[in-house]
Amino acid sequence: MVDKVKLARQFIEAIPHSRALNMQLTDIGAGTATIEMPYDDRLIGDPKTGVIHGGAVSAMMDTCCGAAVMSHPSAPGGTATIDLRIDYMRAATPGQSIRTTATCYHITRNVAFVRATATDDDMDRPVATASGSFTVEKA
């Protein structure tokens, strides 16, 4: 179990795009993962307000959901996204880190189902939520 957690963290940190976005895996458990992404001027989607682009939030959601699947005790190995839906509740406050927590709430031999929520410093009002299905790759 400990090895799998370590493996997931190494895997996430070896992903070039996750590194490019400065994503940090701050917590990983049995089917849950938390990733933090600091505010960065390069990721701005609306130059007038400085709000981060939805695409950067999508990248974070996708990575975090994948990490949650890999950390699940029943997942033998890697995973790939089948589909991912993201709902944007509000703009993330410029200057603040975004934190995403994903939960793999059900897993079968072939498919893992995941939900995720992203927030900034105001933890009570989500920035975005996601739900998706992922493949379960044989080890």
Partner 1 sequence: MARTRPEPMQVVKQRRDAALKALVEGVPYIRFLGIEFDRRGDELTGLLKFDDKLIGNPFLPAIHGGVTAAFLETTSIITLSWAYLWPDIESGAIDTEKLAAGDLPRLPKTIDFTVDYLRSGLPRDAYARATVCRAGRRYASVRVEAWQDNRDKLFAQANGHFLMPPTDASRSG
Residues lying near partner 1 in the complex (CB under 8 A) are found at 14-20, 41-48, 52-56, 58-63, 66, 78, 80-88, 91
Q: Are 135 and 79 in contact (CB under 8 A)?
A: yes
- Compute the least distance from the CB of residue 27 to partner 1, in Å: 19
3-state secondary structure of 24: strand
Least separation in angstroms between CB 9 and partner 1: 15
88 or 113: whose CB is closer to partner 1?
88
Nearer to partner 1, 91 or 111 (CB): 91
Name residue 85's amino acid: R
Indicate the residue among 14 and 139 with the shorter CB distance to partner 1: 14
Report DSSP state, residue 92: P
d(CA 123, CA 77): 32
**Which residue, 5 or 84, has its beta carbon nearer to partner 1?**
84
- The count of C-alpha atoms lying within 13 angstroms of the C-alpha of 124, restricted to the half-sphere facing its C-beta, is 0
CB of 32 to partner 1, least distance (A): 19
Distances from the Cα of 125 to the Cαs of 5, 34, 49, in angstroms? 29, 17, 19
- The 8-class DSSP code of residue 58 comes to H
